[in-house]
């Protein structure tokens, strides 16, 4: 599961990406009109229908299962949840964005893949759906000089509307939440729609194509995504980065400015624009964007990214202040402790670095992260012992 910002390319990967809800007043032109279409060739891509299509054998299997469950008076939304539980017990959660057929055949995929498979079954039973995005502590995966960062996307299957339901008013409509990583949900970001799901699928593939330098394919996919959610800040961000990568910084800047002028802003877009401003040696713009990033930060993970940016620029006091505020508000998250350990190590404060590394280990519930933190601590302690031994010998 994976979202992204970068040293040389700042981009939010969607496995699980948020579509900011904007009250757009017409006649605001669509960002897609700003793309430099002459730079690219529009290629044929997968259709919306194909994304959610399932093999005939699977359709027959599922419908037979559903019929048996209905005879036991099990609600349709619960039927889908039960079917997923019984068929995906050995599912492998990785970063791949797959359509429904591939997700089923390979028994793997990211949260968008699973949402698409869930939607495919919902389509067959005529079940309404909605989606939510929650911010989780990002999992970083470095690819060249790009860091992919994941957020989490989950589905709600609504209970069928029955005639007797018309007599009742519900504060929360009944249904079943399909949540693949419930323990990691920390901060609610926003609601999403079916159109957002389709757009996220195309956007994820567009990101993969961009990283592979398949620019025509990336352009074709992001153009398709913009047809579903034309004012999504993350898609504008992706389109701007694509143009920058092919050398058209003028169009990239126009896209960023359009987003800022019309309040179509996300932290990832601001990071990307800040990197472009750095490339263009536009210091006033960089300072303006850094201030806006701070004002736009909402989740603990936004502040963590700001602190990491300060560390990269050797602004240790500013990063330390941000991280200590973050620890005060969310003391259970291990990453701020690890970031503080990094600061103290860079300042040659080895004892404090070791102390905060131990805090990070104690706070982490993820064995893989614990292993990384422990390895860092072991290295730090080894360096300290070696230094003291050499000092005694001298």
**Predicted confidence (pLDDT) per residue in 238-249, tens digit:** 999 999 999 999
What pLDDT shows up at residue 95? 67
Write the DSSP symbol of residue 137.
Answer: P
CB burial string 87-117: b at 16+ within 10 A, e below: bbeebeeebbbbbbbbbbeeebbbbbbbbbb
What pLDDT shows up at residue 74? 94
Examine the pLDDT at 321 and tell me if it is beyond 90.
Answer: yes
Q: What are the residues whose beta carbons fall under 8 Å from the beta carbon of 276, sequence distance 6 or more? A: 240, 244, 249, 252, 253, 256
Tokens 């889908």 identify what position? 80
Q: What is the largest CA-CA distance in the chain?
A: 88
What pLDDT shows up at residue 266? 86
Average the pLDDT over 142-158 and give the result: 63
Q: What distance in Å separates the CA atoms of residue 283 and residue 289, rounded to the nearest whole number?
A: 10
What pLDDT shows up at residue 381? 72
Examine the pLDDT at 361 and tell me if it is beyond 50.
Answer: yes
CB burial string 139-160: b at 16+ within 10 A, e below: beeebeebbbbbbbbbbbbbbe
Dump pLDDT digits (tens) for 64-84. Answer: 999 999 999 999 999 999 999
pTM: 0.79
Q: Which of 101, 110, 118 is nearest to 51 (CA)?
A: 101
| φ/ψ of residue 87, rounded to 5 | -110, -15
Average pLDDT, the chain: 83
What pLDDT shows up at residue 141? 44
Q: How confident is the model at residue 39 (pLDDT cuts 50, 70, 90)?
A: very high
**Domains annotated on the chain, with CATH:** 4-296 (1.25.40.10), 300-393 (1.25.40.10)
What pLDDT shows up at residue 186? 54
Q: Which of 93, 2, 33, 7 is nearest to 312 (CA)?
A: 7
Q: What distance in Å separates the CA atoms of residue 131 and residue 266, rounded to the nearest whole number?
A: 19
Q: How confident is the model at residue 189 (pLDDT cuts 50, 70, 90)?
A: low
Q: Which helix (H) or strand (E) holds 142?
A: strand 140-143
Q: Which of 112, 102, 91, 98 is nearest to 14 (CA)?
A: 112
Examine the pLDDT at 104 and tell me if it is beyond 60.
Answer: yes
Examine the pLDDT at 168 and tell me if it is beyond 80.
Answer: no
Q: Which of 288, 320, 296, 289 is nearest to 307 (CA)?
A: 320
Tokens 């989606």 identify what position? 131
Please answer whether residues 158 and 77 qualify as being in contact, where contact means their C-beta atoms are separated by less than 8 angstroms: yes
When mean pLDDT is compared over 45-49, 91-95, 129-133, 262-266, the highest value belongs to 45-49
**Which two three-digit tokens encode residue 390?**
């050499």
Examine the pLDDT at 221 and tell me if it is beyond 60.
Answer: yes
What pLDDT shows up at residue 25? 55
What pLDDT shows up at residue 142? 42
**In the chain, pLDDT over 70 holds for what percent of residues?**
79
Residue 234, CA atoms < 13 Å, CB-side half-sphere: 26
Pairing of strands 140-143, 175-178: unpaired
Q: How many CB atoms lie within 10 A of CB 25?
A: 7
Q: What distance in Å separates the CA atoms of residue 293 and residue 150, rounded to the nearest whole number?
A: 19
Q: Which of 214, 209, 189, 211 is nearest to 6 (CA)?
A: 211
Lowest-confidence segment of 132-141, 198-207, 264-273 by average pLDDT: 132-141
């Amino acid at each position: 599961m994976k979202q992204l910002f970068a040293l040389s390319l700042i981009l939010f990967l969607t496995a699980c990406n948020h579509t900011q809800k904007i009250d757009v007043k017409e006649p605001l032109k669509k960002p897609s009109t700003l793309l430099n279409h002459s730079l690219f060739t529009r290629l044929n891509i997968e259709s919306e229908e194909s994304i959610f299509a399932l093999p005939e054998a699977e359709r027959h299997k599922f419908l037979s299962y559903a019929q048996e469950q209905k005879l036991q008076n099990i609600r349709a939304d619960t039927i889908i949840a039960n079917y997923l539980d019984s068929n995906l017990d050995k599912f492998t959660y990785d970063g791949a964005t797959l359509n429904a057929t591939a997700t089923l055949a390979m028994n793997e995929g990211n949260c968008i893949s699973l949402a698409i498979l869930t939607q495919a079954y919902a389509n067959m039973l005529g079940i309404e759906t909605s989606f939510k995005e929650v911010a989780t502590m990002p999992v970083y995966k470095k690819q060249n000089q790009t860091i992919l960062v994941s957020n989490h996307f989950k589905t709600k299957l609504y209970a069928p509307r029955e005639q007797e339901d018309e007599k009742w008013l519900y504060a929360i409509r009944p249904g079943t939440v399909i949540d693949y990583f419930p323990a990691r949900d920390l901060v609610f970001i926003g609601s999403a729609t079916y159109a957002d799901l389709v757009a996220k699928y195309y956007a994820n593939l567009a990101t993969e194509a961009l990283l592979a330098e398949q620019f025509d394919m990336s352009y074709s996919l992001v153009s398709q995504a913009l047809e579903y959610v034309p004012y999504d800040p993350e898609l504008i961000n992706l389109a701007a980065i694509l143009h920058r990568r092919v050398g058209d910084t003028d169009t990239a800047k126009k896209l960023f400015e359009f987003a800022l002028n019309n309040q179509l802003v996300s932290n990832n877009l601001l990071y990307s624009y800040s990197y472009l401003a750095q490339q263009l040696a536009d210091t006033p713009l960089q300072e303006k964007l850094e201030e806006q990033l701070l004002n736009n930060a909402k989740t603990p993970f936004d502040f963590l990214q700001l602190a990491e940016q300060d560390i990269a620029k050797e602004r240790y006091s500013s990063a330390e202040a941000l991280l200590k505020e973050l620890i005060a508000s969310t003391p259970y998250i291990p990453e701020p402790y690890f970031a503080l350990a990094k600061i103290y190590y860079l300042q040659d404060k080895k004892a404090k670095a070791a102390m905060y590394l131990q805090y990070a280990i104690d706070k982490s519930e993820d064995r893989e992260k614990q292993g990384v933190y422990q390895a860092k601590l072991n290295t730090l302690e080894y360096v300290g012992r070696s230094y003291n031994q050499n000092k005694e010998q001298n």
